[in-house]
């Protein structure tokens, strides 16, 4: 079973326009922006090490750029829900199992404070609201799998984000 997160392109318009407007807010951080530690949501998580402004680019989601066919071949039978594959709009896949960085530990939330944004073949995690130091970073995975959503699959991809509006899964809605 191949599973990848996909940016659904529901890009926040205000974020997009901020790219072309003044860059004065995108200050180069002197202190580390994030820290990786245990999460209540799942395994490891990524937390803000300082206050992060809405619209700020936090980190690049790094990984080896591969084709979807290669991702399926390499990870197709992987039944774990440790998904470090991010499917880009151009159907290339960022494989964070290889050459990945801390961004791959960012958990899914149904009420996220971040959003992935694509720039060509590169992927960046942006803050969609202001984030306080110590808060866990999250974005909506919208996980795409080819299999039918059986109860077993739903269990495998069960969401424990704790948000009031939790969908109970981090699979993309069909
Ligand atoms: Zn949830």
What does the pLDDT look like over 139-174, one tens digit per residue? 999 887 777 888 888 888 899 899 999 989 888 887
* Cα 43 to averaged position of ligand 1 atoms, centre (Å): 15
Phi then psi for residue 18, to 5 deg, are -65, -20
What does the pLDDT look like over 129-141, one tens digit per residue? 999 999 999 999 9
**Residue 65: pLDDT over 70:** yes
Residue 24 has a pLDDT of: 56
Q: Does domain 3-8+32-156 have CATH number 2.170.270.10?
A: yes
| Residue 82 C-alpha from the chain's centroid | 12
* Cα 110 to averaged position of ligand 1 atoms, centre (Å): 4
Strands of the 122-127 sheet, one edge to the other:
57-60, 122-127, 114-119
DSSP secondary structure letters along 36-82: EEE-SSSSEEEEESS-B-TT-EEEE---EEEEHHHHHHHHTT--SS-
Query: Cα separation of 81 and 147, whole Å?
Result: 14
* Cα 107 to averaged position of ligand 1 atoms, centre (Å): 10
Burial group, residue 141, by CB count within 10 angstroms (0-12, 13-18, 19+):
buried
| HEC assignment per residue over 89-134 | CCCEEEECCCCCCHHHHCEECCCCCEEEEEECCEEEEEECCCECCC
Of 79-93, 112-126, 153-167, highest mean pLDDT: 112-126
Q: What is the pTM for the complete model shown?
A: 0.79
Tokens coding 111:
């009420």
* Cα 117 to averaged position of ligand 1 atoms, centre (Å): 21
* Cα 161 to averaged position of ligand 1 atoms, centre (Å): 4
* Cα 21 to averaged position of ligand 1 atoms, centre (Å): 33
Tokens coding 174:
């069909």
Distances (CA, A) of 53 to 15, 21, 26, 79, 132: 12, 16, 9, 37, 9
104 contacts: CB under 8 Å, gap ≥ 6: 61, 63, 84, 96
Stretch 34-45: mean pLDDT:
91
């Amino acid at each position: 079973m191949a599973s990848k997160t996909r940016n659904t392109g529901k890009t926040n318009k205000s974020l997009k326009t901020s790219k072309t407007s003044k860059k004065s807010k995108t200050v180069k951080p002197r202190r580390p922006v994030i820290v990786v530690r245990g999460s209540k949501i799942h395994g490891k998580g990524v937390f803000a090490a300082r206050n992060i402004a809405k619209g700020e680019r936090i980190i690049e989601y790094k990984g080896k750029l591969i084709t979807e066919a290669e991702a399926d071949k390499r990870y197709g039978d992987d039944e774990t829900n440790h998904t470090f594959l991010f499917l880009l709009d151009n159907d290339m896949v960022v494989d964070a199992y290889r050459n990945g960085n801390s961004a791959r530990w960012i958990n899914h939330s149904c009420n996220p404070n971040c959003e992935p944004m694509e720039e060509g073949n590169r992927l960046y995690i942006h803050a969609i609201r202001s984030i306080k130091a110590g808060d866990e970073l999250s974005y909506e995975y919208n996980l795409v799998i080819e299999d039918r959503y059986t109860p077993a699959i739903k269990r495998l991809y069960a969401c424990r984000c704790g948000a009031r509006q939790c969908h109970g899964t981090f699979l993309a809605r069909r």
